[in-house]
Structure 1
Amino acid sequence: MIDANPYREDDPDLLENTNLPKSFVRRLRNAYYTRLSDFDELTDIQMLREPGISKRIIKAVRTERQLAQGVLAYGPPQEEVMVKPAFDENFHLSEAGHFIATAAMYVRSARIIRESERWDYQSSMLARPTLHLLSHAIEMLLKFPLIYAGNTLEQVKKNYGHRLIDLWREDENRHIRETVKAHAQKHWTYARDSGKWPNDDFSPNPVEVVDKALLQLGRLSTKDTSFALKYIYPEKEPAPRSAFLIDVFGDTIEDGVGNPRSLLQGLTLEQDLDPR
C-alpha cells in the first residue's frame, strides 16, 4: 500500500524498483497522472486507460503489480490478469475472507440456539430460525471458494441462487466435500457410540445424510417452497435435523477460518501458499 502523496505522476515503487523496460517507464510517466493510494486503485484497469497507453502496456503494469504482491491467478492466461488475495494476516479483509468469516458468524449463532437450554422445551419455535441460520452459513461456505477463484458475487448469484446442492457439487468445492465427509464420519461415529440416541439405528451413510439435508435445505430456500425458511412453512414439508449438520459444517467452517487454504487447495499457485 502506498501512503505518500496520493496524487503524482510517478511512484518509486511502481516505476523505479521494477523490471519494466525504461521505454515503458518513460511512456507511463508521460501518459497519465493518477491517484496511487492503494493496490486496488492502482490495478484498476480503468485508471490506466488513458491516451497513449496501449492495451499491452495496461496488461503489463497490472501483471507487474501482481507479481510484486505474489498473487497471480490460478489457471490459464486470461485477457485480464486476476488478482487473488494472499494467505496472510489481511486475508480476512478480502471479499473471499468476508465470506468464510460470515459463514462462521451464522453457524456459531445456530449452534448457540441449538445448544441452549430453551431448545429442550421450545424446539418447535427455535427449529426454523436455527435452520435458516445454518442454511445461510452453508451457502456462504460453499460460495467462498467460488469467490476466491475470481467469480463476482453477481455471477455466483446468477449461476447458483440459493441452490445448495448445485454449489455442493461444484469442482471448486471438492476440498470442502472431503472435509465435510471426514467431519460427518467423525460425528456420526461419536453419536452412534455415545448411546444418547438409542432409538436411531445410524444405518444410513453419513455423507448421504448430508446430501439429502442439502437438497432439503436448498428447497426450503427457493421459490419451490415459497422461501419457507423465511416466510410461511408449508405443512408436512420435510426438514433436516440441525444438530448433526451444525457439528459437521460448523467444524468445516472453523477449519476454513483458522486455515483458509485447507478448503482451497488446488485453487492457488505455489507462491500463494504460506510454507509455515
Structure 2
Amino acid sequence: MQLETYISDLLYRYECVTIPEFGAFLTQRVSATIHETTNAFYPPNKMVSFNEQIQKNDGLLAHYIADVEKIPFEIANKKIAKRVKVLKSYLTQGETLTFKNIGDIVFNSEGKILFEPSNHLNYLTDSFGLSQFVSPAVAREVYREEVEKIEKVVPITVTPEKRKTRPYLKYAAVALVALTLGGLVGSNYYINQIEQHNQLAQEEATQQLDTKIQQATFNLNPLPAINLNVTKQTGNYHIIAGAFRVEENCDKKISQLKAEGFKARKIGVNRYGLHEVVYASYEDRIEALQALRAIKKTHDKAAWLSVKELN
C-alpha cells in the first residue's frame, strides 16, 4: 500500500492528516517570499510539519483509503496498522523513512523523531500553476544633492539720486496700500451679506420642517408576538461524528447530519485542536449506548462515544 500517496492527496484539502498510532502531518499557509541572496521569488505555499503527539484515529485517512480501494473501513484500518508497524520497525533500526513529496522522518541520537519537509510539491491549491523564478537584482543610482546655505542676504538699496529721478515709486506704494485696504473692506462686507442670507434660509427651512412634523400623524400597528420553542441539548454522553481541523468542514458536517435528521452540533475543540461534531448528546448512558449501536449499524461504523462534561 502506497501510504504516502494517499497522505499527499489529502494534504491538498486538509490541514491535518493523521496516521493512527504514529503521528500527524500538519500544513500551515506561508505567504510569498523573496530570497535576499539569490533573488528567487517563491509563491505562497503550505509548509508541512510532523507532530508525533497527534496519534488518535480521526477516520480521515482510513475513509479515503476505503473509498479509493473500494474496501471496507475496518480493512483499511487494519492495512494502516500493519503499515505503521513496519514503519516503526524501520525507525528503531535507525533507517530514514522517506514519504515521497512530503518529507523524511528519522530518529535522532536522543530517540526523538526529526522531520525534514520536502519542497517538491506545493499543496496550496490557490497557487496552482505558480512556480518559483529568479529575477536579476535591480541596480539603483543614488544622486546626492548638495545644498548650499546662504549666510548673507544682500539687500536692495536705492540711492538718493535715484529717488529724485523716480518720484512715481512713492505714489505707487501709496496707491497699493489704498487698494489693499479697500479690497479687505469690500471682502468683509460681502462675507457678512452671505452669512446673513444663509442664516435666514436656515431659519425658514427649520420653521417649515417643524410645521410638517406637527401635521404628520403616525399609525403604528403592533406586530404579533412570536413564541419560539428551543430545545437545548444537555448531557455528558456524546456520540462523536468526526473531528475537523478546519471549522468550515465542521459546519458542513453539522448541516449534513441535520439534513439527515440528527441533532448534530459542535461541542468544542479537543486537546489536539480539532473541532468535534456529535450526532447528539444524552443524559442517560444506556440511552446513549443504544443510540450509538443504531448509528454504527445504519450510518457510520466509525462513530464512538465520548464521556465528558461541557462547560
Give TM class, smaller chain: under 0.3
Q: Which has the larger radius of gyration?
A: 2
Structure number with greater CO (CA < 8 Å, separation at least 6) is 1
Q: TM-score, normalised by structure 2?
A: 0.19
More helix by share: 1
Q: TM-score, normalised by structure 1?
A: 0.20
